[in-house]
């Protein structure tokens, strides 16, 4: 299958019928945009994946319950940035319900059709009067050009906004997929990313859409790690709304869905707190894809590997050591390793290599690490970033 998708400008409002807005409501002390809204067309189906942490924010419970109860029917997502509303007890859930009810009233929807995502400091409740006062201007700002403003308003410590849109001709009609995401610390999602929203203007049955989204998330957001810390608020919501797509195009649609998700996931990893480069780890030759992905993610998440890349130090021993503790069986004597084009190991043993050239290669962005662990059919990829002194500074002084 030729890849039919090509990039177009915009993000979540690139697909037809979706409206979005992002404004400064005053939730953040910095005065940066902090409240966003996405409105999907009538008939939209929504698939969500959420943090696997036992400690999860009230907004995550609310989203998961509403999507479960409705079989994936939802029309809007409100996102507040600045306060995570996690570990806020009963008040957390009450505030989430009040916020979605107030947004639903202004949109002419039932509260159950509105979802909410929160991001920011854990344990801090949402300043509700500020949020509620922001809803009228937020709804007034909804527009088919609002995707970029929404993508800005969901950020916290991110340095750059993250959005993308792809377009394809499927069965003689134009289909568009758009997405936005935020996240740069506490990034080690499991079944979801920090916050991500995806839109698609082709109609797909809810259960088909849910399966597609789950697979795309496994190959994207679940394959990144910044610091090994899974968040309390990780949420990915994907909306599909429009004329029904013929099943013969589902495979092509899923390819687009995966491409958008991978773009956003890599953008999160590249924007990891203090990061200076994206690291891509490719693992081949494992017994199965699951094992390969686990090895890739362990290497990508190793503090020692991340520090070595940051220092442009081709310390390949740390890569193999990290692979060895991934909990996946392979033959250490079969390992081969490349940094970009530079092969550093074969048959489990170090090769003589040009250390200066390999070190110079580590100044690239992205840095590609390729590890062959045997002759099995399993392969997998993970994305992460280097670990810099800047990461420590950002996270040593977050709330103070």
Binding residue (CB under 8 A) for a copy of itself from 308, 339, 372, 381: 308
Report the nearest approach of a copy of itself to the CB of residue 310 (Å): 5
> CB-hemisphere CA count at 13 Å for 348?
7
Position 71 contacts a copy of itself (CB under 8 A): no
Binding residue (CB under 8 A) for a copy of itself from 7, 69, 121, 145: 121
How many binding residues for a copy of itself (CB under 8 A)?
Answer: 73
- Phi, psi for 206 (deg, rounded to 5): -55, -45
Binding residue (CB under 8 A) for a copy of itself from 246, 290, 329, 364: 329
> CB-hemisphere CA count at 13 Å for 44?
27
Binding residue (CB under 8 A) for a copy of itself from 205, 324, 340, 366: 324
Position 81 contacts a copy of itself (CB under 8 A): no
Which of these, 276, 286, 200, 288, lies nearest to 237 by C-alpha position? 200
Nearer to a copy of itself, 30 or 399 (CB): 399
Binding residue (CB under 8 A) for a copy of itself from 7, 171, 247, 332: 332
Report the nearest approach of a copy of itself to the CB of residue 368 (Å): 19
Span interacting with a copy of itself, options 70-78, 144-152, 211-219, 221-229, rule CB under 8 A: 221-229
Report the nearest approach of a copy of itself to the CB of residue 287 (Å): 13
CA angle 105, 180, 216 (to 5 degrees): 110
Nearer to a copy of itself, 236 or 391 (CB): 391
Nearer to a copy of itself, 84 or 135 (CB): 84
The rounded distance, in Å, linking the Cα atoms of 238 and 368 is 30
The rounded distance, in Å, linking the Cα atoms of 395 and 40 is 36
- How many whole angstroms from its chain centre is CA 86? 19
Span interacting with a copy of itself, options 2-10, 54-62, 262-270, 364-372, rule CB under 8 A: 54-62
| Contact assessment for residue 187 and residue 346, using Cβ atoms and an 8 Å cutoff | no
| Cross-strand bridge partners of residue 385 | 278
Binding residue (CB under 8 A) for a copy of itself from 345, 381, 382, 385: 345
Q: Contacts with a copy of itself in 178-197 (CB under 8 A)? A: 185-186, 188, 190
Nearer to a copy of itself, 40 or 345 (CB): 345
Position 382 contacts a copy of itself (CB under 8 A): no
In the set 51, 79, 193, 235, the catalytic residue is: 193
| Contact assessment for residue 110 and residue 74, using Cβ atoms and an 8 Å cutoff | no
Nearer to a copy of itself, 5 or 391 (CB): 391
The rounded distance, in Å, linking the Cα atoms of 180 and 115 is 16
Binding residue (CB under 8 A) for a copy of itself from 230, 235, 261, 262: 230
Q: Is the omega angle on the peptide bond into residue 247 within 30 degrees of 0, that is, cis?
A: no
Position 16 contacts a copy of itself (CB under 8 A): no
The rounded distance, in Å, linking the Cα atoms of 234 and 47 is 14
- HEC-encoded secondary structure of 220-248: CHHHECCCCCCCCCCEEEEEECCCECCHH
Tokens read off for 137: 């201007």
2 in active site: no
Binding residue (CB under 8 A) for a copy of itself from 158, 227, 254, 280: 227
Position 199 contacts a copy of itself (CB under 8 A): no
Q: What is the DSSP letter of 309?
A: H
The rounded distance, in Å, linking the Cα atoms of 93 and 74 is 18
Q: What is the DSSP letter of 203?
A: B
Span interacting with a copy of itself, options 35-43, 62-70, 107-115, 313-321, rule CB under 8 A: 313-321
Binding residue (CB under 8 A) for a copy of itself from 304, 334, 360, 368: 304
Residue 352, phi-psi category: left (phi > 0), alpha (psi -120 to 50), beta (remainder): beta
Span interacting with a copy of itself, options 18-26, 207-215, 236-244, 343-351, rule CB under 8 A: 343-351
CA angle 240, 241, 242 (to 5 degrees): 135
Position 127 contacts a copy of itself (CB under 8 A): no
Q: Do the bridges between strand 349-350 and strand 235-240 make them parallel or antiparallel, or are there none, so unpaired?
A: unpaired
User: Which residues does the annotation mark as catalytic?
Assistant: 193
């Amino acid at each position: 299958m030729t890849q039919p998708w090509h990039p177009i400008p915009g993000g979540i409002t690139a697909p037809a019928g979706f409206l979005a807005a992002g404004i400064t409501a005053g939730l953040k002390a910095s005065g940066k945009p902090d409240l966003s809204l996405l409105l999907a067309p009538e008939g939209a189906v929504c698939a969500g994946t959420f943090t696997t942490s036992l400690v999860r924010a009230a907004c995550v419970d609310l989203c998961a319950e509403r999507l479960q109860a409705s079989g994936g029917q939802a029309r809007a997502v409100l996102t507040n940035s600045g306060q995570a509303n996690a570990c806020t007890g009963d008040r957390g859930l009450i505030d989430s319900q009040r916020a979605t009810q107030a947004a639903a009233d202004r949109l002419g929807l039932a509260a159950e059709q509105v979802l909410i995502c929160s991001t920011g400091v854990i344990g801090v409740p949402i300043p509700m009067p500020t949020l509620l006062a922001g809803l009228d201007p937020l709804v007034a700002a909804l527009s088919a050009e609002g995707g970029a403003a929404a993508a800005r308003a969901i950020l916290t410590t991110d340095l750059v906004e993250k959005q993308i849109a792809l377009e394809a001709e499927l069965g003689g009609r134009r289909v568009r997929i758009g997405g936005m995401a935020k996240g740069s610390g506490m990034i080690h999602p499991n079944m979801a990313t920090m916050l991500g929203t995806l839109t698609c203007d082709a109609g797909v049955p809810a259960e088909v859409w849910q399966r597609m989204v789950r697979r795309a998330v496994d190959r994207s957001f679940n394959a990144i790690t910044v610091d090994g810390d899974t968040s309390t608020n990780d949420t990915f919501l994907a909306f599909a709304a429009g004329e029904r797509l013929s099943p013969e195009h589902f495979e092509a649609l899923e390819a687009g869905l995966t491409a958008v998700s991978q773009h956003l996931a890599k953008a999160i990893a590249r924007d990891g707190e203090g990061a200076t480069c994206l690291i891509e780890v490719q693992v081949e030759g494992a017994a199965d894809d699951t094992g390969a992905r686990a090895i890739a993610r362990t290497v990508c998440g190793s503090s020692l590997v991340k520090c070595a890349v940051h220092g442009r130090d081709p310390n390949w021993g740390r890569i193999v050591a990290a692979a060895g503790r991934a909990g996946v069986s392979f033959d250490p004597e079969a390992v081969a390793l490349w940094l970009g084009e530079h092969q550093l190991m074969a048959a489990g043993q170090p090769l003589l290599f040009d250390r200066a050239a390999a070190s110079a290669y580590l100044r690239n962005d992205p840095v590609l690490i390729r590890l062959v662990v045997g002759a099995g059919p399993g392969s997998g990829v993970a994305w992460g970033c280097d670990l810099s002194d800047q990461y420590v500074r950002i996270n040593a002084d977050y709330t103070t």
